[in-house]
Amino acid sequence: MEEINRFLRLLKKHRLILIIVPAITVIITFFLVRNLPNSYVSQTQIATGIVDDTQSSLTGDAAAKSWSEVSQAFANLMEVMRLKKILDQVSYKLIIHEISGKKSFRAIPPELQNYNQQELKQILNTFEDKYNKTEGLNLWDAKQIKLYNILRAIGYDSESIKNKIKINRVGDSDFITVEVDTENPELSAFIVNSLTEEFIKYYTFLIKQNQRKANTFLDKMLIEKRAAMNSNVNALRDYKIKNRVLNLEEQSSQLYAQIITYNDQKQSILKDIAANTGAVNEIDGRFDPKDRKYLESTLTRLNQRLLSTKEELRSLYDLYIQNNFEPSYKESIDSLQRILTSQINQSSDQYINSPLATKQALIQQKLQLEVQLDLSRYSMNSIENELLNLNAQFDKMVPHEAEVQSLEREVEISSKEYLDALEKFNQSSMESGFAIKINQVQIAMPGLPQPSKKMLLVIISGIVTFIFCLVVLFILYFLDDTISSSKELANKTGVPVLGGLNTIQGSVVDLNEIWNSSSSGSLNEFKDQLRSIRFEIDNEIKNGVIAITSMKEFEGKTLLALSLAHAWKMTNKKVLIIDGNFTNPEISRSLDTSMYIEDYLNGTTEVNQLHTDQSVTVLANKGADTSPLEIADAETITSKINQLKELFDVIIIETASLSKMNQSKEWLSFAGNVIAVFEARQSLNDEKLNDIAYLTSLGDKFTGWVFNKQETFLYVRKKKKSIKNG
């Protein structure tokens, strides 16, 4: 709260600045803006097609876009409209309109008035040529610099136009508004429509040019992809023809099925061979050696007769297996087996009277089993040969399969790339055939005059100046480290403040008037402050000797000493004032007295000479460059002061400032209480901090501060009232 009050006091102190400076600014602004021309605003709207799906149904661009993508697209469009290339085109159209003899929008500048008709025609032709070629002015060329100066003089240069236009998106819609504010309604409409026209023309050219480049690139890529696809197809075809490959997948499936079939047949034959071999061995085991000898000789003769039939049967089995078990061969094999069985039966009948007649059935069975065993062995050889052949064919197909798959994969990839390129080419071709989405949906018309902003500018200037003054004062307040209140002094020094005294106007202070009951309000306030300080000192006084000092000269020691003397006078106490300030004896100069402290200390003046009927007695000094201990020794001074304490209730010694540390220390050593005067609005530097450290080192002898020349709201108000009544 104290800080706020302090800042408010600062504002009240500079209240005239807060009033006069904004008032002057308002007056100056009024005279500056009173002749400003009226402003006319013209506006147009452009549909972009960015968020309007109705324009994307044919091209397939209706996919939802994110908010950031839409915002970026609109930002790009608005920046394109601000391009210098487009603004230059608008500048050319404006200056061509002015020079070509049509109704001018603005007064012709002196730069144009100095040219004759022939020169104006050349300038017109130059601007038209620049406009048709969409070229900017070359400012390195002296002639074109003159043209630029003409544009700038009339306010048609690109920078001036850019400062006039406002381009914004309408909310979250698909529209962009273009707005221009000038002093001429027709000029505003012309700039808006020209800017929109040039923007759409440039943007259309840019899009179409990019589409043509895209189509050319895609067409070239399509040819390359088609050639790559055809090359891969031809490579696959040539490989199949060269290696006699029709359908590897089907061929490998057939070979694999044949291998499985032959393996099954092989297992079946192995099973038959094992069974027949076991049966023959079982039959042989039933014959004794003599019978077996006779049987073997007999069977040998029988086998020779059946040999031709077996050879024919083996040949048929080979053909049967080689032809993948053709059924026609099966019938021949069955027929030949019946013939062989018949021959075996006939041979058996011839030996009915042999010793082995009783075992005729076993012999016949053995013969049949041996025939079957031979046939199985013949079949096994043929099947194994065929399996070797099939496996060899299958092994040859494996590398072909890998190569064909690689070629087919390349064909597939190249075909996909070709189809993607074809799709993109068709899409780009279709898009290039459509008209551009951006169009002007509202033609700009000359607008009505806008409400005048002159008064608003005047008010704003006053408010801004007032705020500026407040900011400056606040900065000064913030940077101000001076002490302006007794509370700040107590906080920064750590020493209590006995009280404060207000500033009294005038060069001469009448102390009797202060204690007069009819005194003014400001003096009454000062008197109350003295009473408060007197009360605080009475509570702290020790031996009746009070030394008053300060950290620098002219802080109010003399006024405080005299005022306190009169304050104690009002309580019927006898007061002695000693002017101990030999450097600046203000009390000695202002009061008429013939008694001096030098005479009293050296014994020239006796103590009984100081005994008078007056309540306040003054011991002046002669103003020499001296000190108490140079006049008398410390014991003498102490004795003299003790004599004075018997005559006076209070002894007040005004010492020199602490800048004269030697004189002040000598007087302070004889005092029972030390009071320091501190003038308001001072900062604490290193020297003053050293002085404060010395005072605090005195301990209880240092009673406290008296804050002089303070200024409060109450005092300012009373002072103002007294001046008004004045």
H/E element holding 207? helix 185-242
Which residue from 80, 104, 106, 100 is spatially nearest to 198, judged by alpha carbons? 80
CA–CA distances in Å: residue 191 to residues 310, 415, 702: 116, 54, 83
Which residue from 174, 2, 202 is spatially nearest to 82, judged by alpha carbons? 202
Q: Mean pLDDT for each consecutive 10-residue tract of the chain (726 residues)?
A: 77 88 91 78 86 58 70 88 90 88 78 79 89 88 87 88 89 87 88 90 85 84 86 81 66 71 76 75 65 55 60 67 66 69 59 50 66 68 73 65 75 86 79 71 81 81 93 87 84 90 73 68 82 90 89 88 91 91 87 86 85 85 86 91 91 89 86 92 87 90 90 41 28
What is this structure's pTM? 0.47
Cα gap 440→693, rounded to integer Å? 83
H/E element holding 441? strand 439-442
Cα gap 709→480, rounded to integer Å? 18
- Which pLDDT score is estimated for 704? 92
What is Dmax (Cα atoms) for the chain?
Answer: 201
- Which pLDDT score is estimated for 723? 26
- Which pLDDT score is estimated for 506? 63
Collapse the DSSP code of 503 into the 3-class scheme (helix H, G, I; strand E, B; otherwise coil) and give the result.
coil
Which residue type occupies 493?
Answer: T
The residues with which 45 forms a beta bridge, in sequence order, are 177, 442
Start-to-end Cα distance in the chain: 33
Structure tokens of 164? 């006039």
Q: In what order do the strands lie in the sheet with 40-47?
A: 165-169, 175-182, 40-47, 439-442
CA–CA distances in Å: residue 566 to residues 387, 454, 519, 533, 709: 146, 65, 15, 13, 19
159-170 exposure pattern, b = at least 16 Cβ within 10 A, e = fewer:
eebeebbebebe
Q: How many CB atoms lie within 10 A of CB 566?
A: 18
The single residue listed with the structure tokens 């017109």 is 124
- Which pLDDT score is estimated for 715? 37
Query: In 323-359, which ranges are continuous DSSP H helix?
Result: 327-349
